[in-house]
Structure 1
Amino acid sequence: MHERSAGIPPTLAAAASAAARFSFLLLLLLVVAGRSSSAWSWCREGEAEEVKGCSRIMGFGGDGSPATGGGISENGRFSYGFASCAGKRASMEDFYETRVDDVDGETVGLFGVFDGHGGARAAEYVKKHLFSNLIKHPQFIADTKSAIAETFTHTDSEFLKADSSHTRDAGSTASTAILVGGRLVVANVGDSRAVVCKGGKAIAVSRDHKPDQTDERQRIEEAGGFVMWAGTWRVGGVLAVSRAFGDKLLKQYVVADPEIKEEVVDSSLEFLILASDGLWDVVTNDEAVAMVRPIEDPEQAAKGLLQEASKRGSADNITVVIVRFLEGTTEIGDGPSEEVAKDQSS
């Protein structure tokens, strides 16, 4: 599922001058030195039910079982479920959030998957603060997209300040979905992914941010960095994603600017899958949608995907969040935003 570029990496001369290259390589040495694996794992609350193939390292109470759970909104318009386990990894760096809030009299669903690298610090911070910051934004209801973009940048800056005392670098992806009014707003940073089932078809509503993508490579090189092959395409030969929270030593090149897409929640929109690349490395978008579609309970569907990814040999942490839109969702709030209505009419 990871994109690869044909051909050979660009020369360092194309990326920067000789002096800039030397400075950048010194910076990379500091990053590499801080990439030692975290010696601890994070345990989260969830139903203590075993999913075959999951690592015995992870689980509520330390019994190795995955964290699972779910719920339904008070207005009955959507249900959700999640499943998460360490898989074959020695540490757990995935986090997730599933919450339903009342904001200015509006029922709002906030869902996210956060896949950490270089340790769990960044992913844990983003899980704890991103959505809380978002719903406090004064324009959250009126201008949701702008509020999301500003909140992602603000949360990233706040994490970098809070993490300044650590010598080991840490970062995190964020694949998020916000249900507000009659809208589903998806915002993504990194290579966790959001996929919807619409009219029975699988549609990716986020893009994996990889360094070999033409626009991402150009942005990195214009900032003075470079992209090279080191087992996969990496920023400076170190990081396999081109956007992330944290990664302070690479922040000039690895930004936390989200790409945002919006969908109208209508009768054609069946469900949403958010998942870390532990799922997408071994299961395609079409396969995931086909497996989830006949399962009404989103928690059971999330556990099924987790089990399938484990059975197929996923080598990474695996986290899945599923949101199912229930009948009558076209009546949520006041209907689609003016922007969405214009997009549909065009």
Structure 2
Amino acid sequence: MADKEILHKMKEKVGFGSASSDSGKGKSKMSNHITHGFYLVKGKSFHAMEDYAVAQFKQLGNNELGLFAIFDGHLSHEIPDYLPSHLAYRITDTEILEKAADLGKGGSTAVTAILINCSKLVVANVGDSRAVISKRGVAKQLSVDHEPNVERQSIEGRGSFVSRFPGDVPRVDGQLAVSRAFGDKSLKEHLSSEPHVVMEEINDDTELIILASDGLWTVMSNQEAVDLTKNVKDARSAAKVSAEETMGEQR
């Protein structure tokens, strides 16, 4: 696992605290109608928890920023950083690779979101962690699932290959089931850390936004996830309901 001192220093560098507990909630000071909540639950794997969440509002001058992220580590690799801009994704990836001897050989997918003054949302992602927004009850996916089969041409252009062996899931070099991620030093020549970025207006039609790792999306559709949570008033409770439903489906 990653060295705790290194994780602490990385968190301090970008100015954000850790989601030290498994759940949490908060609300905007600009709008009483906008709240957030998160809930982390460990899956069936035998290694330690690898996911990491950020959820907070932060004042920057006259602007309020809602900062939200889900990092889904793999190969016992925890990613604590939160750097959501296009350029910062590259910086984050570079720093993780430079510290690979301490942080481990694995990597992480990520989906990040910045809510600016409760009116504009900027979403970025690498890998298969996903962002979904609901407007008037209709789910809309904001992120892109970076799948090896979809990006096969780019992967092969970097001198790699996509294989379903072992198993039946397409993997880069037969190892990683996503085509974009942070870290993964041994595969880096064949992987991209370039994020997909999208902007979305937030208005009275917007009901909720879900950020989640693939653990949720492998067992339910975007619309099912929205339908499950849209009538749960407390954001943390909605996150918990989603996580517990996911665990129930995986049993």
Once the two structures are superposed, residues 224-258 of structure 1 have per-residue CA deviations (whole angstroms, 9 ceiling, x without a partner) of: 11111122100010111100000111111211110
Q: Which of residues 194, 205, 213 is equivalent to 1:268?
A: 205
Aligned alpha-carbon RMSD (Å): 2.1
Q: Which of residues 73, 84, 88 is equivalent to 2:28?
A: 73
The corresponding residue for 1:200 is: 137
Cα distance in 2 between the residues matched to 1:44 and 1:150: 24
Show structure 2 runs of 5+ residues with no match.
Answer: 4-17
Cα distance in 2 between the residues matched to 1:246 and 1:39: 13
Pairs aligned (count): 233
- Say whether 1:83 aligns with 2:39: yes
Query: 1:106–1:180: 8 Å Cα contact kept in structure 2?
Result: yes
The corresponding residue for 1:101 is: 58
Once the two structures are superposed, residues 164-188 of structure 1 have per-residue CA deviations (whole angstroms, 9 ceiling, x without a partner) of: x259521000111111142111101
Aligned positions of 1:1-346 closer than 5 A? 45-46=20-21, 67-76=22-31, 78-90=34-46, 91-121=48-78, 123=79, 127=80, 129-131=81-83, 148-163=85-100, 165-166=101-102, 168-181=104-117, 182-213=119-150, 216-230=151-165, 231=167, 232-313=169-250
Cα distance in 2 between the residues matched to 1:117 and 1:167: 12
Moved more, 242-251 or 87-96: 87-96
Mark the CA change 1:221 to 1:201 in structure 2 (over 3 Å): closer, same or farther: same
The corresponding residue for 2:10 is: none
The corresponding residue for 2:14 is: none
Mark the CA change 1:218 to 1:298 in structure 2 (over 3 Å): closer, same or farther: same
Cα distance in 2 between the residues matched to 1:223 and 1:39: 29
Q: Which amino acid aligns with 1:229?
A: R
Greater share of strand: 2
Query: 1:92–1:120: 8 Å Cα contact kept in structure 2?
Result: no
Extract structure 1 runs of 4+ deviating beyond 2 A. Answer: 43-46, 165-168
| 1:39 Cα offset (Å) | 11
Cα distance in 2 between the residues matched to 1:297 and 1:168: 37
Q: Which amino acid aligns with 1:82?
A: F
The corresponding residue for 2:13 is: none
| 1:270 Cα offset (Å) | 1.1
Q: Which amino acid aligns with 2:82?
A: L
Cα distance in 1 between the residues matched to 2:38 and 2:82: 19
Q: Tell me the SS of whatever aligns to 1:225.
A: coil
Mark the CA change 1:89 to 1:243 in structure 2 (over 3 Å): closer, same or farther: same
- Aligned residues with identical type, % of pairs: 41
